[in-house]
Amino acid sequence: MNSADLLVNVFMPAVLVALAWWMPSLTSPTLPFGVRSPEARADAPEVARHRGRYRWQVTASGVLLITAGVLVSSTLRFDLPGVVLLLTIAACTAAYGRARAAVLAVKRREHWYDGLRQGVVADTTLHTDPERFPWVWAVPALLVCTGTTVLGVLRYPSLPDRVPVHFAGSGSADRFADRSIGTAFFPVFTQVALTALILALTLLSFRARADLDPARPADSARRHRRFSVRTAISLLLLAAFVDLSLLAGAWAMWHTDQQASPALILLPVLAGLVVVIGIAVRTGQGGSRLPAQDGVVAERGTGTVRRDDDRYWRLLGSAYVNRADPAVLVQKRFGIGWTINLGNPRGAVLLLGLILTPALLVPLLLR
């Protein structure tokens, strides 16, 4: 098993299993497996039992799949490119679906929201006095893009008539194309497009609607501000790491006498994901894991709970569809970050653009 196989079939599935194991702790205690619940039910024995079962299933399936992949690849010499990772994703998704269905059943059976006062709250200062966008953290990605562009301009005159556009797992080029601006500078165009996309989405999410707790609106607004800044920083750093991976691929592409190192290409992306995950673990979704700021008096609860809005969340709670909600981006119910409101026409247009843009640009650049 070469280094690329180890990364794809061992390291990445292991990171995925660890993240899936941690996920229930990253989201708000009032959203066990994406199910809206009152604060009084956050530590319910049923929720704790299903959380433990979910973690056991995720761990067991991950260990079995990774071990089986290593044995098959090592003893039978049969390559499984990405299969172990895909099966691990499927196993973690199935475990999450079972846990979510179980918590929903308990919620309906015990009528968790009977007799409770539901409400929503907004903090207008998030728009009138927003946090400053951390532009300085976009500099590393921009510098990597600039450096790759300069290197490409210097190398272009000496490139052969046929340049490699794909590398096998061993690092050797196995597909070539005629030299052109589109083929030779494809890594640069990809860097620019990805950096611009991540920057645009980060800017948009920075102004996304806050999911504030009506029981403690001031405290949740403070947490949201810190969450927005930290998440934006992590995404901008991820863009820089992805650009480094593309730079490594471009270097191999522009030096046809050298083999590409799969480990060198994949490691920056993995490092970026580790940074994102590390910040997410410290922060939590919506700032749920952040401590109260020093010197801030604990806020008294108002007795109001978040409204029960499970009906707007489809596909195991991963898709938000609410035509009455003007928000384009909303916080995820399970995981870190934001998702698109598919009930909003602008959200549907945004999703369509995210899908069609790469599908149209790639053939155009490689012509």
Q: How is the chain split into domains, by residue range?
A: 1-116, 124-306
CA atoms within 13 A on the CB side of 42: 13
pLDDT band at 79 (very low <50, low <70, confident <90, very high): low
Which tokens hold the place of 114? Answer: 């009977």
- Does 3 or 187 have the greater pLDDT score? 187
Query: What's the rounded Cα separation, in Å, for the pair 138 and 45?
Result: 44
The pLDDT > 90 percentage for the chain reads: 37
From residue 325, alpha-carbon distances to 165, 201, 329, 339 in Å are 44, 19, 10, 13
Q: How many other CB atoms are found less than 10 A from the CB of residue 95?
A: 22
| pLDDT tens-digit readout, 124-167 | 888 888 889 999 999 999 999 999 999 999 988 888 888 777 66
What pLDDT does residue 171 have? 61
